[in-house]
Chains A and B, each alone.
Chain A
Amino acid sequence: MSTHTLSVRLENKPGALARVSQLFSRRGYNIQSLAVGPTERADISRLTLRVDCSEHSLEQIEKHMHKLVNVLRVTELGPDESVERELALVTVSVAPDRRPDLVALSQVAGAEVVDVGRDAMTFEIVGRPDQVEAFEELVRPYGVRELVRTGRIGLRRPSRTSNRSERT
């Protein structure tokens, strides 16, 4: 088993996302994260999926997704040939006297303060998934009250034009 990132170009039509997610549950594949949003074309969405599975299952997933009428293209994003980013919002419990420590810490990690409350602060961090995870670990001792991650999104790097894992 290993974790893979799949990038899926999908027609922006009612039910299209349901068909993809249904396929995963139906065939027993587990989605770690799924991010979906608009692309350069209004009629096309892009899904970025993280799945934990064997190579054999990955091949099956790709083949099954290609059979969905709304799926235009499935590409595996290899770690060396793609750029991946994630955004997280984290609300951390913090007493007023400890705020400066936490702000200093967040600056080192590249996070931004987006809201300050009486006994809590909300940070935003955008970065590589490992950077987001590192920030999460960093603030955990303070007490993470709420956390939301977008799930990663990715694109193939134009500097790496290998077509190896692209099937259309």
Chain B
Amino acid sequence: MLGSDAILRALEHEGVDVAFGIPGGAILPTYDAIARGTTVRHVLARHEQGAGHMAEGYARASGKVGVAIATSGPGATNLVTAIADAWMDSTPVVFVTGQVRSSLIGTDAFQEVDITGITMPVVKHSWLVQDVEELPSVMKSAFHVARTGRQGPVLVDVAKDVQEAELDFAYPDDVDLPGWKPPRTVHPRQIRAAAEAIAAAERPILYVGGGVLNADACAELRALVDAGQLPAVVTLMGKGGLPDSHPLNFGAPGMHGSKFANWALNKADLVIAVGSRFDDRVTGKVSAFAPGAKVVHFDIDAAEVGKIRRADVPVVGPLKAALTQLTAELRASDHTPWLRQLDEWRQRFPFRYAKADGVLKPQTAVEAVRDAAAGLDTDVVWTTGVGQHQMWAMQYLVCDTPRSFITSGGLGTMGYGVPAAIGAKAARPDATVVCIDGDGCFQMTCQELATAALERLPIVTVVINNGWLGMVRQWQEMFYNGRFAQTHLTHAVPDYAQLAEAYGCAGFTVEAEEELEDALAGAFCCGRSAVVDVRCDPEEKCFPMVPAGAAAVDVIEAPEPEAVNA
């Protein structure tokens, strides 16, 4: 067997059903192996960044390891954004790149870059394979490292001559990685200490992050919430990890989270962090974050515990087991007054925005998409880009199932939404996949509409088109005296509906609230990929907002609706 075939056999052994990529010189032998036959479906992207985000979307939607394939040099460097994105959001992806021939490595050969060197800070591990005999064990190790412990990206860089070399293929049953020992159990003493802290607390709050989804611990989390009547705030990355419509889910905290979620953390006497990492977009000024609270911190990654905020009770280990054991250890405790207080804040400080005659507000568009999708008889998986539209999606979409909200949190990668949606559709063909995008984001990766159309992976993209790099514009208005430097994109160029048609997708243009319903119905029913260009108020800002570096309790709220209308 050839090395190139060994790569495909390894993917098959690992249960990979879809891989995303683009061929090129140094990876040609592996594409030839694809041509020779494999059970792996290859989705041809139009840019390697797109392939990378598709693999991420696939991984996030399915819970399996994603795979992206690219050639050496520019193919590999085009993957870097996706690799960094997967690193920041702990998304398990195996990136496979071709490398120039072993004899040429280090000579600045055509399309040679040191991609293992370039990506070192943003992978869990990487391998440069120069001996074909190592390929099976490297592939096995790559999948193992990507999916165990804190999940994340790995890179396998394979020299072209290795892909062409002969080997006797045997896929190993085990990995030989003496230095890779992620925690497999949690310490019962720490679980008891956590239970004691909860029993002693008057105002406990769970602070749930994306780790709950990665750990497949959503059912265990819900059992804990129900058994302990513990209220929770759920971060952007954790959305869907606890049903949004659960009465004890107080939604997202942070820079554009609700005032009540931020207040809940601020006034709590016990913060129970579960797979969350005290990101600066959640905490605001760290010294003013949950100032009166003890902290219990559950995480698979010891390096996250105590990184930003000291943990009074650190609990390192797999969340599924930890949460099950914690539920079993819970003692009766009553914090009804606290729950009543949280409910009162939730009533008092809802997300709100001011409607105005003749102006289509972006929030109205997001709500309309939410309501239209609610009427579908399929599962719905949401993806987003990054910016105002993402924050409105976080605020207004209702996600009641795990892996139904896929977004770029840590890296904040504009352009993530469309390719991630295509990857999600490949993972879950029976679901309706909807990308809520911004006009700035959409233009960064919209070439992947060709992939969606030709690979028959229909997605619905709703472009919240305010004609600006909206979030940047908001910062310029609020913090740079309204000097709108280089943020105006215009509503009309490109014409998104025509662009969609050019790519073989259906295009819809919406300029008024009344047109939303029909356009969305058309997009959901057209049986192919669709783009709905919703031309919105360019001046709308996203509130509430905690300015960067401010205390999370000092929320800037949306102007009073009455005052605006008066």
Contacts and interface: CB of A to CB of B under 8 A. Distances in A.
Interface of A: 11, 14-15, 18-19, 22, 26, 56, 59-60, 63-64, 66-72, 168
B305 to A, nearest CB: 8
Contacts of A64: 303
Contacts of B145: 69
Given A14-B128, A67-B303, A19 B120 contact: yes
A64 B307 CA distance: 11
Interface stretch (B51-59, B68-76, B176-184, B495-503): B176-184
Interface in B110-146: 116-117, 120-121, 124-126, 128, 145
A14 to B, nearest CB: 7
B306 A15 contact: no
Contact of B307 (A26, A60, A67, A72): A60
Given A11-B178, A15-B116, A72-B179, A66 B302 contact: yes
Contacts of B301: 67
B181 A59 contact: no
Given A56-B306, A63-B302, A69 B120 contact: no
Contact of B124 (A26, A69, A72): A69
A69 B125 contact: yes
Nearest to A66: B302
A70 B120 CA distance: 13
Contacts of B302: 63, 66
A22 B114 CA distance: 15
Interface string B151-185: 00000000000000000000000000111110000
A137 to B, nearest CB: 39
16 contacts: A11-B179, A15-B120, A15-B128, A22-B120, A22-B121, A63-B303, A66-B302, A68-B179, A69-B124, A69-B125, A69-B145, A69-B177, A70-B179, A71-B179, A72-B178, A168-B181
Nearest to A11: B179
Contacts of A66: 181, 302-303
Contacts of B179: 11, 68-72
A59 B306 contact: yes
Given A18-B117, A63-B303, 9 more contacts: A15-B126, A18-B120, A19-B120, A22-B121, A56-B306, A68-B179, A69-B125, A69-B145, A72-B179
Contacts of A70: 125, 179
A168 B303 CA distance: 14
A20 B26 CA distance: 29
Contacts of A56: 306
A18 B306 CA distance: 26
Interface in B171-210: 177-181
A22 B121 CA distance: 7
A156 to B, nearest CB: 19
A67 B179 CA distance: 8
List 4 A-B pairs, minimum CB-CB distance, nearest first: A63-B303, A69-B125, A72-B179, A63-B302
B121 A26 contact: yes
B117 A69 contact: no
B147 to A, nearest CB: 14
A52 B178 CA distance: 29
A76 to B, nearest CB: 16
Contacts of B124: 67, 69
B202 to A, nearest CB: 29
A16 to B, nearest CB: 9
A71 B145 CA distance: 14
Nearest to A67: B303
Contacts of A22: 120-121
Contacts of A15: 116, 120, 126, 128
Nearest to B180: A69
A59 B306 CA distance: 9
Nearest to B130: A14
Contacts of B126: 15
A2 B126 CA distance: 33
A138 B210 CA distance: 59
A68 to B, nearest CB: 7
A70 B180 CA distance: 8
A40 B210 CA distance: 43
Nearest to A168: B181
B450 to A, nearest CB: 37
A98 B116 CA distance: 54
Contacts of B116: 15
Nearest to A73: B179
Contacts of A63: 302-303
A69 to B, nearest CB: 4
Nearest to B310: A56
A127 B433 CA distance: 67
A42 B54 CA distance: 42
A11 B302 CA distance: 22
Nearest to A23: B121
A7 B145 CA distance: 24
B303 A60 contact: yes
Contacts of A72: 178-179
A151 B149 CA distance: 34
A65 to B, nearest CB: 9
B95 to A, nearest CB: 16
B268 to A, nearest CB: 24
A59 B302 CA distance: 10
A60 B301 CA distance: 11
Nearest to A69: B125
A15 B179 CA distance: 15
